Amino acid sequence: MSHADSRKRYREIARVLGHYGFEWLWSDWGIGRVLGAIQRRIGAHEGEPHTQAVRLRLACEELGTTFIKVGQILSTRPDLMPQDYVAELSKLQDHAPAVAYEDIAAAIERELGGPPESVFNSFEREARAAGSIAQVHGAVLPGGEPVVVKVRRPGIESLVEQDLAILGQMARFLTHSTDLGKKLDLEGLVDEFGFALRNELDLTREGQNAERIAAEFVNDPCLHVPKIFWEFSTHTVLTMEDIHGVKIDDLAALDAAGIDRHVLAERCAHIALVQVLDHGFFHADPHPGNFFVHSDGVVALIDYGMVGRLDKNLRESLVRLALAVTRQDSERLIDELLGLGAAQGSVNRQALRHDLDHLLAHYDGVPLGEISAGQLLRDIAATSQRHWLKLPADLVMVIRVIAMDEGMGANLDPGFNLIEFAQPYFKEFWKKNHSLRAMSRRIRDSAIDFADVGLDLPKRLLRLVGMLERGELAVTSRLEHPEALTKHVERAANRIAMSVITGGLLIALSILALAYRPAGSEGFGLFLLRTLLALGVLSGTWLAYAFWKSSR
């Protein structure tokens, strides 16, 4: 990225942010050196008459691909963003003007070795859909199979890398110059965004994700995953089966096709729960536009660019969280949250317990069928955020998936309740992972690990002793507040010295008063001894009072 390009993009970002009323970013956070100076040169714009959350969404849409994707990812993080922002950013529409057919044809020729007309039997010149990363065209393979061809927008990779570099620079500045930047770990967030976005840019990853989920549901007829045609796919072109069916939010069409909407809601919940609990690998963008329903009620799910992963430990933590909530056990809930969340600052356990008790009391006595799973999990994530607990990104993504699936189920059937439906799945997962066979397998694995450590320990100890003998091992400690500790030590040392001097003075004067009585001592000498003795007593009394006061 050249300096001129970077400067131009900074100018554009400043213009858009200023237009939507976000000039406080550089006035409150002190980044006027970067954006403020540019804003002054190009002139301020009047802000839009919307809430700040709406204006942020509009700014992301105007800034393009990177910021749309960052906004979409932030909408999955209720542990980091207030709920009104999460709700608004979840509305971000990934639409963009279609790329000219000539550019698409050139990309296909470069990737597949020939123009669309020679590679495919037929190829639609008009795009069916155009997003910020890629656009989709209908086509027919030489064998006669109808497909859709997803082609990445030309030049999008360099633009994304440019934007990620700018976001990284801003994050580094804010992390090192503001307390909020440090607590939110903005550099880590930008790295997380960059990883997710680069994965979406690589269309082969989307194909691999689809094939993995298809393999995991090979014996489950509820879900249909589009087939990937790898001989017509590369990193920038993805060819897959053309999916037809009724859109899942078209209730009139579902009713006309005779599809039972309650059964369909249960089927969608089943798909989500099996992915999360059994497979630990799930479709992370289950909005209604990605669901199609066949005439036999089978659900077809498309767009596997965004996925989440949960290892067994995270899945067990998710089940334990649900168990703690149903039992109104705030202490267990705290233990799970502290075990899951990386503390971004000091955590006051008592204050956290108070907030969680208040949260659980809100659901106490409410019938299970009336509790919203998505809202409950969002409340827990928001409480974690207030106490600077950063939950694992994939676990927070599960919260979004559950909320979206719950909303889709309620739209299909207002009487559908996800928590009630999910109870058998949670019980089965718990039984499967705590059966005698599962526990014996864990003990066996632990024994193997322990044996490995035991066999390797002597060698490690020998290496450690060798490092000590050669002076290669150094231990470094760091004090949080060295100035305060230094003052405390100096004060204590001064008191000790004063105590020694006072004690010595009193003892010496006492001995002198008893053993040394020169002629005329009842005059000035006696007065001097008594005065010094009184001073010693006063000094000792003052020291005793100081010790008592400091102990309190």
pTM of the complete model: 0.72
Q: At residue 94, does pLDDT exceed 60?
A: yes
pLDDT of residue 348: 82
pLDDT of residue 151: 96
Which residue is listed with tokens 């922002």? Answer: 85
Q: At residue 71, does pLDDT exceed 70?
A: yes
Q: Is 113 exposed, middle or buried (0-12, 13-18, 19+ CB in 10 A)?
A: exposed
Which one is predicted more confidently, 510 or 322?
322
pLDDT of residue 228: 97
| Confidence class for position 387, pLDDT limits 50, 70, 90 | confident
User: Active site residue: 79, 94, 163, 285, which one?
Assistant: 285
Query: Residue 341 half-sphere exposure, CB side, CA atoms within 13 Å?
Result: 30
pLDDT tens-digit map of 245-285:
999 999 999 999 999 999 999 999 999 999 999 999 999 88
pLDDT of residue 45: 45
**Structural tokens at position 196:** 């997710």
Q: At residue 310, does pLDDT exceed 70?
A: yes
Which residue is listed with tokens 């963009």? Answer: 96
Which amino acid makes up residue 417? N
Query: Average pLDDT over the chain, rounded to whole?
Result: 81
Q: At residue 124, does pLDDT exceed 60?
A: yes
Which one is predicted more confidently, 395 or 481?
395
pLDDT tens-digit map of 330-368:
888 888 888 776 666 677 888 888 898 888 888 877 777
- φ/ψ (deg, to 5) at 193: -60, -45
Residue among 137, 410, 370, 375 at smallest CA distance from 288 = 410
pLDDT of residue 206: 95
pLDDT tens-digit map of 199-229:
889 999 999 999 999 999 999 999 999 999 9
CA distance 6 to 439: 56
| Cβ(274)–Cβ(220) below 8 Å | yes
CA distance 321 to 337: 8
100 DSSP 8-state letter: P
| Confidence class for position 477, pLDDT limits 50, 70, 90 | low
Q: At residue 27, does pLDDT exceed 80?
A: no
| Cβ(342)–Cβ(184) below 8 Å | no
Query: Residue 6 half-sphere exposure, CB side, CA atoms within 13 Å?
Result: 12
CA distance 134 to 98: 9
Give the residue extent of every domain in the chain: 3-94+183-188, 97-130+133-182+189-242, 252-434, 440-476, 482-551
Q: Rounded to whole angstroms, what are the CA distances from 286 to 30, 169, 255, 402?
A: 39, 32, 22, 9
**Structural tokens at position 77:** 């993080």
pLDDT of residue 44: 42
Active site residue 456: no
Please count the other Cβ atoms lying within 10 Å of the Cβ belonging to residue 465: 11
Pairing state of beta strands 223-224 and 299-301?
Answer: parallel
Q: At residue 493, does pLDDT exceed 90?
A: no
Which of the residue ranges 43-47, 96-100, 317-321, 521-525 would you say has the lowest mean pLDDT? 43-47
Which residue is listed with tokens 């037929």? Answer: 122
| Cβ(216)–Cβ(281) below 8 Å | yes
295 DSSP 8-state letter: T
Which amino acid makes up residue 442? R
pLDDT of residue 120: 97
Which residues have a Cβ under 8 Å from the Cβ of 299 and sit 6 or more positions away?
222, 223, 224, 248, 264, 267, 268, 271, 291, 292, 293
CA distance 348 to 335: 13
pLDDT of residue 445: 63
pLDDT tens-digit map of 292-309:
999 999 999 999 988 999
